[in-house]
Structure 1
């Protein structure tokens, strides 16, 4: 295919494939976050203490984090079309198991562990959409794709209502059907970019090669705070609002959906603003802003105007950061390695969301408040912001209008 033909094909297919990938990401993320919005149901049914509840909520995050590493490498090998389809179909199995496990804490932990497979779709979609767009528009592309993390908002809002309306198992069967339909759509209509070619090198050497890149671990640290903070809040916020503010489960879910929606809107904005002003500025605004908001929230301000506004602002800052980090990845990493790097960085982001709920649950059980946990978040965001300023202020790729470079 000539260069002109490739350019025309990209223009025709980029937007449609970005929409399909984003939709698949949203539906798998909804599945990934099925347990968090029902934490009160499970804690009351199984008589769980705050620490047990936090472990249950955080467990799916673990596999969703670590599983992104092989998912990214397999995407470099087999392409986004195959892997997006597989992600949707594979996720139906643990979703069904979770629906069948509502009366056993051990069974919920085991099925929740497997539910983490749904969270690996992120490492599939980033290289898929990255290949469809030129370097100057990859911040936009990865930012829009990242808006699929709004699946957590869909889960927070709809999952408790579905369970209240039709029951626990039927609600999970509906989720299985939605995943299967999305998998069929991806297989029938999604296409890899014309210039994409499979990387057939052995997986382990490829993993070692991207693990040797300094930028991989720098981006992992940044994403562990930006995306990890979002995951931690979106999974644990329903529990936090129920315990700290004595809200009903559906009310807590509604407010968590608002939090997730704000982050979803901010993520593509972070990518677009990174294209205009440089990823460094966007990441710094994210980390320093999140640090300030965590301090304000640490003292449990009254619900609605003070606390509600601060939670929304926290979501906006974290969302900007998730968009900014992957705009920086797209500029610093050559396309053939994006899948592998994305897998490791995405894993770091997921792990960043795994530990805070455990800390929050332990802190609340020990002190009856979340103050210490939120102050630890503030300190972490501040330190990572200072690291970002030092590590990337001299990088030309962090400045507006800079061209991508290979590491």
Structure 2
């Protein structure tokens, strides 16, 4: 692939695909987060309690953990063009369901199903990796992630105003319904305006769809270990909905979910064995090997950076309001600025990674994240408000740049499995969010920030085991021939 000049203002060739794809991701986040800015309106309209509203927020993210893994597999098998279009079109249905809901049960089912659209992110990671050379990949993935992620902030800035414009008690319904209509229409537009690869390029597919491939016995067991936290996080969500907590689920239902999660994990062990049993009997040729520890390290890092971003975005307005006695509107604006930084920070992480090396960039950004949260844990009412906001913005730079740097590495591990690797890494971000928000329910804001900082230090230690992507990836074409793809670092 020729390394033509990276012109962000172009709308042809690979730049057209990048723009079309970040807009698709933007719409998924606009739809996924269309509820949070209008909590009060929905609460009053449907006559919900505070606990029921909190339950809807939990349900909104519950399905995203398994969805990212499933969508990653489907992307590798069927291609990002078809999967992204289908996700946008199908996800409009639960969006319309929520807009039309007139009871808590209907709203809960719709929000649970809408968690699936949160998996859209991993599709574009594969699409962008197909279109950009490796010395531009971090920049392209950063723009994709940062500008697409802005969909959540756009929902906060626009939907409450639209609800007021539509007017009446049902204004929120029209605003949410509009996001569903946008998703439906753009899904069709996307399908007819992109292709999976540039003309003449091969779209590499995994040999098996049932589970991720590994290339050594030790990686087989490491994969099974790294799967456990995803099941644990879903179990944690079930516990939060139990009679002793939110009270949405009965004790029998909660224990049934625990039992189902155990069975699902055992089934996944079986699928991983089916796909990878040959590694126990014959060695994989050196040219086809990849190291799963690279994936495991990225999982740990994304658990910390994206996990903390989702958690902090949820609690930061309340933190500012309670610490500095601010009114909810001002606190919301200051908290929203944290997400706004995505426009600049995530692309910056990708650009730095392209120019300065993958591993060194991740180490510096993760250390910066640790220091940032450590300082945030020291913020109290005696601090000037402006300084607290500056510290939060500086911390968000390291958090979101780290996310951009993580996904500058994901496509360089094994091309035909990029969707699966992105899906697992992305799921770990949601696992992190569930973990950190659960921690917050038991401890002070100070301890909450310190726990994230400690997790970041674990990430730095994990990075010592990661290897800088070098040399070439061997991929097998559908006709059986082998193509070598350069993933060496270009400055």
Report the TM-score when normalising by structure 2.
0.71
Q: SS of the counterpart of 1:197?
A: coil
Structure 2: 5+ residue runs without aligned partners? 224-291, 472-485
Q: Max radius of gyration: which structure?
A: 2
* Deviation (angstroms), 1:328: 2.0
Q: Is the 8 A contact 1:37 1:253 kept in 2?
A: no
Name the residue aligned to 2:438: 358
Equivalent of residue 185 in structure 2, options 177, 181, 187: 181
Name the residue aligned to 2:313: 234
Name the residue aligned to 1:378: 453
Q: SS of the counterpart of 2:203?
A: coil
Name the residue aligned to 2:50: 48
* C-alpha distance 272-38 of structure 1, shift in aligned 2 (>3 A): same
Q: SS of the counterpart of 1:374?
A: helix
Q: Is the 8 A contact 1:162 1:171 kept in 2?
A: yes
Q: SS of the counterpart of 1:397?
A: coil
Name the residue aligned to 2:376: 297
* Mean Cα deviation higher: 288-297 or 223-232: 288-297
Name the residue aligned to 2:81: 81
Q: Which runs of 4+ in 1 moved over 6 A?
A: 208-211
* Deviation (angstroms), 1:317: 0.8
Name the residue aligned to 2:205: 199
Name the residue aligned to 2:174: 170
Name the residue aligned to 1:254: 333
* Mean Cα deviation higher: 139-148 or 40-49: 40-49
Name the residue aligned to 1:277: 356
Cα distance in 2 between the residues matched to 1:205 and 1:375: 36
How many residue pairs end up in the alignment? 385
Cα distance in 2 between the residues matched to 1:155 and 1:236: 17
* C-alpha distance 275-96 of structure 1, shift in aligned 2 (>3 A): same
Deviations 1:207-261 (A, max 9, x none): 6779742222221111111111222223443454455555555444433332112
Q: SS of the counterpart of 1:136?
A: coil
Q: Is the 8 A contact 1:144 1:267 kept in 2?
A: yes
Name the residue aligned to 1:366: none
Name the residue aligned to 2:388: 307
* C-alpha distance 175-32 of structure 1, shift in aligned 2 (>3 A): same
Structure 1: 5+ residue runs without aligned partners? 364-368
Q: Is the 8 A contact 1:156 1:254 kept in 2?
A: no
* Mean Cα deviation higher: 185-194 or 203-212: 203-212
Name the residue aligned to 2:35: 35
* Mean Cα deviation higher: 254-263 or 23-32: 254-263
* Deviation (angstroms), 1:196: 3.7
Q: SS of the counterpart of 2:210?
A: helix
* Deviation (angstroms), 1:316: 0.7
Which structure 2 residues correspond to residues 315-394 of structure 1 after superposition, within 5 A? 315-331=396-412, 333-363=413-443, 369-388=444-463, 390-392=464-466
Greater relative contact order (Cα < 8 A, sep 6+): 1
Cα distance in 1 between the residues matched to 2:49 and 2:438: 18
Report the TM-score when normalising by structure 1.
0.84
Which structure 2 residues correspond to residues 8-27 of structure 1 after superposition, within 5 A? 13-27=13-27
Cα distance in 2 between the residues matched to 1:236 and 1:126: 28
Name the residue aligned to 2:263: none
Q: Is the 8 A contact 2:205 2:417 kept in 1?
A: no
